[in-house]
Amino acid sequence: MDRGKSASRIFIGRQDAVDLFYSLRSLREQKNALYIEANGGLGKTWLLGEYVVECRRQRRPWYTGLAPEDDPQSAVIDFYYLENRTVAGLRRSIVRRLGENFFPEFQRLEQERQEVEQESSASNTSSRLAALEREIEIVFFRELGRALAEIRNYTVLLFDTFEVVHNRRVGRWFLETFLTHPATWGYLIVFAGRPRESVRNRLPLNVHLYRLQPFSQSEAEEYFRKRYAINPDSPEAAVIKACRGKPLLMDLTVEYLRQSEGTVDDLQTLSEQELERVLAQNFLNATTPLHNVLHEIAYLKRRYNQDIFNYLRDRYGDQDDFSEGDIWHELQQYPFVKYRPEEGLYALHDEFQRMIAEHAGRDWQARAQELYNDVVQGWYEQAIQKALPGPE
């Protein structure tokens, strides 16, 4: 059974979500924003990427910002990444996504702010920073409005993983200031997150709420057929019922059937919790170098870059089996592993991370702490030393 290639985009179903996205174009004077709400593993991030693809398919492509043509997902601003968890950081990400050339005054003020922050010993630094922050906010929205006029086309801003900031200052700013500011009314804005009642209760009037649902039976069959070439009439297709229409569980199940001696009959009668346990244990019990790397990503809370990989390979790996070229690139084949090419960073799907942590047993905390300490005290110290200026 072929794992499939995550590099080739396959989009199944969700036609109502696509239609709703297009309706924002005509309704934007009343509702120019869309909030996609769903539990983990249902395809929120996947849907955001499809919106980018849809924008680029137009006769006159809608503008989704500066992002590689072959990586539509990179057009999405993800709150998972720490740089987007402050108001200042989020503003900078929006500016970079749309194009810094549209924000000359904002860029100048940001540079001035950095210079003032370096003068931390000055007695009036805090008051100067506060004044600069107010001015930066005003200029940001002024140039945001001008950018839309210069682009002269439908412009879409997309955001993911909103649940991690919904109670932070940046989350409140996003809901109460950014979404409601007149400068953003001409934009089409889409953001996604896990269900949070406090978010639903605070959505501005210009935001449409959409609850993403699991695949229907026919959509699940189409997913298996197109991604994995599994015929709906084959014995393997019986696993559709066990996966409850959740794309992530489908991907993990295919991997389970590839890697283990298990059969679909073993899975059909399991509850969802039991199915998760079996799928997680499949990874935890496997001894292949590729699966060991997936464990390490999970232990390290999803962040994993080339330098950490090299360090752990040298420390733990068999040089013949732990091949950098093979494993590093094989990780990109997994639909539940996100790759951020501009930073060389892997991010494990948080729902898969949760499953691994929940079903790993008593060894989880000890192994996670051991690996974390190795990285902090080993790789991190090496990275600091490399970054320090030499004695000359």
Q: Is the pLDDT of residue 382 over 80?
A: no
Closest CA to 155 of 62, 72, 73, 69: 62
CA distance 16 to 208: 13
Percent of the chain with pLDDT over 90: 40
Find the mean pLDDT for residues 43-61.
92
Contact (Cβ atoms closer than 8 angstroms) between residue 80 and residue 347: yes
111 against 289, higher pLDDT: 111
Q: Is the pLDDT of residue 368 over 80?
A: no
Contact (Cβ atoms closer than 8 angstroms) between residue 347 and residue 283: no
Question: Residue 292 corresponds to which tokens in the numbers above?
Answer: 């060991």
Q: Which amino acid is at 260?
A: S
63 secondary structure, DSSP code: B
CA distance 359 to 269: 19
DSSP states of 126-161: HHHHHHHHHHHHHHHHHHHHHHHHHH-S-BEEEEE-
CA distance 304 to 293: 10
**Is CATH 3.40.50 correct for 15-211?**
yes
Question: Residue 108 corresponds to which tokens in the numbers above?
Answer: 């100048």
State the pLDDT at residue 7: 39
Question: Residue 152 corresponds to which tokens in the numbers above?
Answer: 């002269």
> CA separation (Å) from 146 to 139, 183, 194?
10, 8, 33
Where are the domains positioned within the chain?
Answer: 15-211, 217-284, 287-387
CA distance 240 to 232: 9
Contact (Cβ atoms closer than 8 angstroms) between residue 352 and residue 336: yes
Residue for token digits 């492509």?
A: 61
- Encode pLDDT of 252-272 as tens digits: 888 888 776 666 777 878 888
State the pLDDT at residue 269: 80
- Encode pLDDT of 93-151 as tens digits: 999 999 999 999 999 999 999 888 887 655 667 888 999 999 999 999 999 999 999 99
What strands lie across the sheet with 337-340, from one edge to the other?
A: 303-305, 345-348, 337-340
Question: Residue 238 corresponds to which tokens in the numbers above?
Answer: 């019986």
Question: Residue 89 corresponds to which tokens in the numbers above?
Answer: 């950081």
- The dihedrals phi and psi of 213, each to the nearest 5 degrees, come to -110, 160
- Encode pLDDT of 68-93 as tens digits: 887 888 899 999 888 999 999 999 99
Percent of the chain with pLDDT over 70: 86
State the pLDDT at residue 122: 59
Element (H, E) at 107: helix 104-118
Closest CA to 219 of 21, 17, 3, 1: 17
pTM for this one?
Answer: 0.85
Find the mean pLDDT for residues 290-308.
76
